[in-house]
Amino acid sequence: MRNSFTSLLLFGFGFVGLANEAYAMSAGCTAVNGYSDASATYGPYYPITTSPLDEGEVITVSGSSASATWEFSTGAQDSIVGVPKYGISAGSFSYSFTVPAGGISKLGIFDTDYSGPGTITNLALTCSGASSGTPAAGTIADDPQQAMEYVGSVLALETTTMHATKIGNVVRNRLGGHSSSASPSSSTSGASSSNSALQYAPSASAGIAMNTAAGVVNAMANNALEQVSTDRFAFWSSIGFSHLEQSVTGGSFDGNILDFSFGGDYKFNEDFLVGLSALGSRSDLDLDFNDGSLDATEIGIAPYIGYDIANSVIFDASFGYSKLSYDLTRNSGAISGDFDARRLFVSAGLSGDVALGEVTFTPGIRTVYAHEWQDSYTDSSGLAVEKNDFDLGKMTVSSEFSYDFALGDVPITSFIRLDGNWMYDRPDGVVLTTGDVYRPDVLSADVTIGVSARKGGVSTSLEVSKTGLFGADLTSFGVKGSLAVAF
């Protein structure tokens, strides 16, 4: 188990420097049959380009025509959906349209006047926008739908990762992580007295940013402790604050996120539990790219299960549903709008312990998948913004190292965790104010340090995290604490 988790981690860090993806234009945008800026006499139908044009691209055809009998066509008299039948007028013309769903295999012009060939001069074709579903109209500065997919997907991934990871931490603590490392009587650092207490205190996830560490191991479980088998019920709570910054040119923003969760669970036996969590977040962001702001409020629930497979190899799974409310502005607050959204997520994690002398090594792996539906709305300028939805998926491989000691009669655990993240499902590209097309990083890395303690029946933890290492555009700094009481 140790070798497999370590290999995955090294693989992730080995490629973590990959840059953000930028789309190239389709072949049709650079192949105009050699007739750009040339004068010729064409027949009833002539192809402008025989190379494919991708969905979402904005195609502009310009030139001069001796008559108004021409129309754009995908071949013969098959007109393009959404394009006027007689799209080319007499004289100089420039007509733009968005390539419809499914793309266009070829593009031409068709002479509807059968009396003879027409003449077009200075024919040229240019493309803007990009392939793979990139919204064609405008940029994130003036297209609210693009802006919300760009920023909203960041918030969705960060908060979802955080909620799922906290639940995984709770499960691990409850089912006795590190139970094979030592018995209560074997510890000279006070771990014996902390054994039952620290089973119930969740710590926070590794901070909140697009590349938030989705670590699967709770710091408070990283003690050489033996599983406690007495209490069936446990209740817990957690709260955190993070500041995130997106520094990419043409799409920068920054802001703060406050998150919270609380819940309880029941252990049917020493190896299996079922629980329910309430969760929420509040985000306040300043959007430099459109001189605006975005505020988001989230409230949701998430049932979860946990199972100790063998020797503290622990599996957890959760399913969450949230309702969200978004308020946004642009142009220095001159234009505003608000709408609601819904989000579903599923998560699963697996982790185990390896004793390395006085240090415990805990490798882990977690996947989180989310889908968000954003409602349509009309902003204060009268612009109708269509509904939108997107999917997000991330896998995280974690390596955590922890060490136990005591301050007086209070047992303490310190730890450091490194996370490598692979985003296997990302939102479509958006057009930045620079005209570049942007998608989130595929690979990223994070680091978290923390401590946990127990006194009496109350356990606490504190974590500090830095996400988006190695020059990533999106970074965050977060502080998170937890409190739990065992009954």
- The verdict on residue 191 lying in a domain is no
Residues 299 and 408 in one domain: yes
| Same domain (yes/no): 388, 301 | yes
| Tokens standing for residue 298 | 């989230």
Write out pLDDT tens, residues 123-165.
777 776 543 333 334 789 888 988 999 999 999 999 999 999 9
What's the number of domains the chain is made of?
A: 2
* DSSP line for 26-90: PGGGS--TT-TT--EE--SEEEEE-S-B-TTPEEEEEEEESSS-EEEESSTT-BPTTS-TT-B-S
| DSSP SS3 for 424 | strand
Assigned token pair, 224: 């050489």
Q: Are residues 117 and 242 in the same domain?
A: no
| Same domain flag for 416 and 453 | yes
Count Cβ atoms within 10 A of the Cβ of residue 6 and give its class: 0-12 exposed, 13-18 middle, 19 or more buried. Answer: middle
Residues 104 and 250 both lie in one domain: no
- Name which of 5-9, 98-102, 284-288, 462-466 the model is least confident about: 5-9
Which tokens sit at 397? 């491989």
CA dist 419 and 93 (Å) reads: 55
Under a CB-based contact definition with an 8 Å cutoff, are residues 261 and 238 in contact? yes
Mean pLDDT, residues 216-232: 40
What digits encode the pLDDT tens for the residues 194-210?
333 333 333 333 333 33
- Within-domain flag for 267: yes
114 and 174 within one domain:
no
Residue 409 lies in a domain: yes
Out of 70, 100, 128, pick the residue that ends a domain.
128
Residues 427 and 475 in one domain: yes
Q: Does 7 reside within a domain? A: no
354: domain CATH number is 2.40.128.130
Closest CA to 158 of 204, 197, 90: 204
What is the pLDDT of the chain when averaged over all its residues?
Answer: 75
- Structure confidence at residue 187 (pLDDT): 35
pLDDT tens digits, residue range 329-343? 998 889 999 999 999
34 and 162 belong to one structural domain: no
Looking at residue 75, its pLDDT comes to 55
What range defines the domain where residue 247 resides?
144-178+225-486
d(C-alpha 43, C-alpha 119), whole Å: 9
Same domain, 240 and 344: yes
In a domain, 326, yes or no: yes
- Does 193 reside within a domain? no
Residue 78 domain-assigned (yes or no) = yes
Same domain as 409, residue 373 = yes
Q: Are residues 77 and 167 in the same domain?
A: no
Residues 333 and 265 in one domain: yes
CATH number at residue 117: 2.60.120
